[in-house]
Structure 1
Amino acid sequence: MWNGEGAVRWNLNWRRRLFVWESTLLDELLLVINRVVLTDVEDHWGWRAEKGEMFTVKSTYVLLANKFLTGMAIASEQAAMFKAIWKTSAPSKVEGFSWMVLHNRIPTKDNLFLRKIIQNEGECACVMCGIGLETVEHLLLYCDVAIQVWGRVLSWLGMEFYLPHNLMSLLNFLADVQGRKQMRKGLIMIWQAVIWALWRHRNKIVFENGITDVIGLVEEVKISSWKWWIARSQTLSCLFYEWNQAPTLCLLR
């Protein structure tokens, strides 16, 4: 059906004469297939984002970032935070979750409603407080339960808690604390531990009929952050006694 000798052209033969509307479709088809270049080279799989070469995760990230984040102005401070969340001692799934939180990509009820998964807007109330609309900022920051957890965690760290504008502001505040680089990384990791614990707690309420337990959430944050830090630590010292005496110093040294 294709003649590659001399002037390249398609030889499309039909069993009957085409109607006028079919001729129009044929013209549209030829516009598409005439752009195809046929060669004698053996076919192979290629990743278009790498110009037909091997697939890479980096090129996929750039492709998606350009598609979904086009037109979003990101300040230099925010760009630094997006890099910092990938360099803590938290597990990779928690680091990925942090990235999704900052981009409002987790399946909170308001996002599920926008995607038509939840049909009734009246079903979008926060599962932890039952009052506000369950958005990322409400669930992980403005909910009464979240406020109590943040307050207790920052008190544990010896810091005062002032309700910030959003989660990025709180992250910037913790990352801007004066001290060694390891201390700032520890505080960013604790920020990740808090939002991870709140999200897991939310899911327990939704799927396992769990009950709200602020004290339990705070303890989970302490234990998780301690385990993550020890797992990535290059030293094998025993810190149980020091943890009981001064948990903040134990984490951030």
Structure 2
Amino acid sequence: MKEILQTAPELRNGVLDELSWAADRSGIFTVSSVYKWSELPSNLPTKVVDLIWKNAAPPKVQFFAWLAWKGRIKTSTFLQSIGILSANSDLNCVFCMKERETASHVLLCCMFSWRVWSNILGWWGVSWVQPGSVVGLLQWWTGVTCTKRLKAFWKSIPLAVLWSLWKQRNDIIFNKAQLHFEKLCDLIKTRIALWFRASSPSLSYSVGDLKGFCSSLLILCAVTYKSVLIWCLDWLKACCSLKEYVWAAVGLNRTWKLYGLNFYGEFLICFCFCFAAGWKSSESSGFALLLLLEIGNI
């Protein structure tokens, strides 16, 4: 327990925990929302199926995720249960060497696997309570709402983590590979960016750009437009020159276009023009031209 606490990812300081009612978009509990929710048919299996098969990940990764969801991946305990491994075989997890290797343990509940999941979610600025099974993980993942463009990125994350953890497990067993936390996390992020880039050939962003977007902006998938706008204004307050305002507008415009939030790019460009109107410097004309070029790409 001491080791787990010492290696646990840091939570975001200064952010209070809060309750949100998931049955209504407002997040506020109402009796009418309870009634409407109770009348809806349960479609969780359908959502999980869509998460797995309608995904930017390669087909072999989708198939592996389906096996993990059904509890059919060939872990040590599974192989022993069907007579492949003898009763004297070592069934301990290759990551921690302390617990029996089950699908839920090696892919989710192992201390090492938990650190990997927390790192990837921290890349998105998300703090979470870990589900106790792969089934619960995929069900939780389907409950997060986000824009259409961002959804394709978000859906590929669990498959990338599950696949990478399993590949790492096999490399340790069959190739005597060494466990390296930082390299594995970076590999997962690269895979996610590669899959998303391959699924969107018209996207004018490199794999490095896609990896940097989530690490540079704490974008929550369930974020509201109001909170994004407030965050935007607070960030712009830190700019103290026309040049900084311009590059802030251009950078955020290009980033939010990736997420389908074009409105914010237009807002920022207009905001910078209003600011530039009262700014007297020799740089104003050059940066005004840059803004005009950026507006043409909105």
Work out which of the residue numbers 187, 194, 216 in structure 1 matches 2:154: 187
Alignment gaps of 5+ in structure 2: 1-41, 218-254, 260-298
Matched, 1:203 2:164: no
Does the Cα contact within 8 Å between 2:53 and 2:62 map onto a contact in 1?
yes
Distance 1:214 1:241 in 2: 20
| Alignment correspondent of 1:215 | 182
Work out which of the residue numbers 118, 123, 130 in structure 1 matches 2:85: 118
Residue type of the alignment partner of 1:86: W
1:122, distance to aligned residue in structure 2 (A): 4.9
1:243, distance to aligned residue in structure 2 (A): 3.5
Distance 1:100 1:245 in 2: 31
Does the Cα contact within 8 Å between 1:113 and 1:121 map onto a contact in 2?
no
| Alignment correspondent of 1:80 | 47
Alpha-carbon displacement from aligned partner over 1:123-157 (angstroms, at most 9, x marks no partner):
11111110111000000001111000001000001
Does the Cα contact within 8 Å between 2:67 and 2:73 map onto a contact in 1?
yes
Work out which of the residue numbers 156, 167, 186 in structure 1 matches 2:134: 167
Distance 1:80 1:230 in 2: 24
Matched, 1:100 2:58: no
Distance 2:44 2:162 in 1: 20
Query: How many residue pairs were aligned?
Result: 179
1:163, distance to aligned residue in structure 2 (A): 1.4
1:78, distance to aligned residue in structure 2 (A): 2.2
Alpha-carbon displacement from aligned partner over 1:77-136 (angstroms, at most 9, x marks no partner):
123212321111000000011101101111100110011111025511111110111000
Distance 2:132 2:51 in 1: 20
| Structure that is richer in helix per residue | 2
Q: Give the share of equivalent positions with the same residue, in percent.
A: 29
Does the Cα contact within 8 Å between 2:190 and 2:207 map onto a contact in 1?
no
| Alignment correspondent of 2:277 | none
Residue type of the alignment partner of 2:156: M
**How well do the aligned residues superpose, as a CA RMSD in angstroms?**
2.1
> Alpha carbons of 1:182 and 1:131: their partners in 2 closer, same or farther (altered >3 Å)?
same
Matched, 1:227 2:191: no
> Alpha carbons of 1:149 and 1:78: their partners in 2 closer, same or farther (altered >3 Å)?
same
Distance 1:153 1:201 in 2: 16
Alignment gaps of 5+ in structure 1: 1-74
> Alpha carbons of 1:140 and 1:244: their partners in 2 closer, same or farther (altered >3 Å)?
closer
Work out which of the residue numbers 147, 153, 157 in structure 1 matches 2:124: 157
Does the Cα contact within 8 Å between 1:110 and 1:124 map onto a contact in 2?
yes
Distance 1:182 1:87 in 2: 14
| Alignment correspondent of 2:105 | 138
Larger Rg: 1
Residue type of the alignment partner of 1:209: K
Q: TM-score, normalised by structure 2?
A: 0.56
Does the Cα contact within 8 Å between 2:157 and 2:192 map onto a contact in 1?
yes
1:2-151 map, 5 Å: 76-120=43-87, 122-151=89-118
1:229, distance to aligned residue in structure 2 (A): 0.6
Residue type of the alignment partner of 2:188: V
Residue type of the alignment partner of 1:189: S
Q: TM-score, normalised by structure 1?
A: 0.65
Does the Cα contact within 8 Å between 1:98 and 1:192 map onto a contact in 2?
yes
Residue type of the alignment partner of 2:104: E
Distance 2:165 2:211 in 1: 24
Does the Cα contact within 8 Å between 1:102 and 1:167 map onto a contact in 2?
yes
Distance 1:236 1:182 in 2: 11
Alpha-carbon displacement from aligned partner over 1:201-222 (angstroms, at most 9, x marks no partner):
0000000111111111111110
